[in-house]
Amino acid sequence: MSAIKDSKDVLRQGAVRTIERRAFLKQGLSLGALTLLTGCDVTDQDSVQTALNAISRWNDRVQATLFSNRLVPTYPESAAVKDFRSNQYYGEDAVPKIEGSSFKLGLSGLIDNRKPWTLPELYALPQTSQVTRHVCVEGWSMIGKWTGVPFRTFLERIGADLSAKYVGFECADGYYSSIDMASALHPQTLLTFKISDETLAPKYGYPLKLRVPTKLGFKNPKWITAMYVTNRFSGGFWEDRGYNWFSGI
C-alpha cells in the first residue's frame, strides 16, 4: 500500500518538472510501483504458497496426461552401478533392519484378497530383472539393476481394483507415498527384492522396494510394510512437504 502512496508523492514532485521529464517519470514510476506492489504479494507467504501449490497440482495433471505406457530406456548390465547410492532423510545407521522370517506385507483398501503376504510367498511370484536409471529429485542419477515381480502381476494376483485411482505405501521408517494407478500398472514398475543381483541390503530397503523407473527416486518407497488401493488422494512424506506429487520422468 505504501508503494502507491510514495509513488503518488513522487509523481506530484515530478509534476513541477518539465513536461518531457514528467512523462518519463510517470512511465518509470508506474512500472516501479508495479514491481513494489508485486513485491508486497511476494512477501505474502500464504497467497504465494497457495498459488504455487495450485500450479503443482496442475503440473500433476499435465504429467498424468503426458504419461504413457512407453518404456523408459534400459541399459546393458555392465552399466549398472554396484555400490548404489542410498538416500534417506536420516543417517544410514538408522535405517530399518527388518526381520525377514516374521515379515508380512499388509494389504488394505480396494483389494479383494487382503491376506498379508510373507516373503516366501512373494518370492514365489514370477520375477524379472531390469537395468534402468534412477533419477533423484536433487538432480543426480544412477543406473542400477533391480529384480522383482512386475507390480501389475502382484496387483492382479491380490485382486486389486485396477480402476481405482491410487496405490499407497507405508514404510517401516515412517515414510509413506502414493502413486497413480497408471504408473503402478506400467510394465516396468516392479516390486523388487534384489539390487545388483543381491537381496536388498537394509540401506536399499530390505525386504521390499517399489521400483518405479517412470518416477523420481523419492516415489520409489523402500522398507514397504503395507500397501493399499484407494480413490482418495493420500499424498506422501515429501509430497506433503511441497515436492510435486506425480513426479514423473
Partner 1 sequence: MNTDERGTVKVHPGVVRVTHWINVVAIAIMIGSGWRIWNSSPIFDFSFPVAATIGGDPATSQDVHNELGLAGALQWHFAGMWLLVVNGLVYLVYGIWSGHFRHALFPVSPSAFLRDALAALTFRLPHRLGVYNAVQKALYLGVLLAGIVMVLTGLSIWKPGQFQELAFVFGGYDTARLIHFLGMSAIVLFLVVHIALVIIVPKTLPAMITGRAAAHAPEILQESAG
Q: Does 101 bind partner 1 (CB under 8 A)?
A: no
Q: Does 79 bind partner 1 (CB under 8 A)?
A: no
What would the x/- binding string for partner 1 be over residues 10 to 29, using CB under 8 A? ----------x--xx--xx-
For residues 84 and 195, give the distance between their C-alpha atoms in angstroms, rounded to a whole number: 9
Residue linked to cell 536399499: 204
Beta bridge partners, 176, equal 170
Angle of CA points 49, 45, 88, to nearest 5°:
55
Q: Are 169 and 155 in contact (CB under 8 A)?
A: no
Pick the stretch among 67-75, 98-106, 114-122, 151-159 that binds partner 1 (CB under 8 A).
Answer: 67-75
Beta bridge partners, 168, equal 178, 228
For residues 195 and 72, give the distance between their C-alpha atoms in angstroms, rounded to a whole number: 18
Q: Which is nearer to partner 1, 32 or 96 (CB)?
A: 32
Pick the stretch among 43-51, 97-105, 151-159, 174-182 that binds partner 1 (CB under 8 A).
Answer: 43-51
For residues 119 and 148, give the distance between their C-alpha atoms in angstroms, rounded to a whole number: 12
| Of 4, 40, 52, 94, the one binding partner 1 by CB under 8 A | 52
Q: Does 89 bind partner 1 (CB under 8 A)?
A: yes
Q: Does 214 bind partner 1 (CB under 8 A)?
A: yes
In angstroms, the Cα distances linking 130 to 76, 153, 194 are: 9, 16, 11
What are the two backbone dihedrals, phi and then psi, of residue 25, each rounded to the nearest 5 degrees? -60, -40
Q: Are 164 and 110 in contact (CB under 8 A)?
A: yes
Q: Does 36 bind partner 1 (CB under 8 A)?
A: no
Q: Where do the DSSP E strands lie in 198-239?
A: 198-199, 209-211, 224-230
| Of 22, 104, 114, 133, the one binding partner 1 by CB under 8 A | 133
Q: Does 244 bind partner 1 (CB under 8 A)?
A: yes
Q: Does 233 bind partner 1 (CB under 8 A)?
A: no
Pick the stretch among 4-12, 70-78, 202-210, 223-231 that binds partner 1 (CB under 8 A).
Answer: 70-78
Q: Does 86 bind partner 1 (CB under 8 A)?
A: no
Q: Which residues bind partner 1 (CB under 8 A)?
A: 20, 23-24, 27-28, 31, 45, 49, 51-53, 55-56, 59, 66-68, 70, 72-73, 89, 133, 135-141, 213-214, 238, 241-244, 248-249
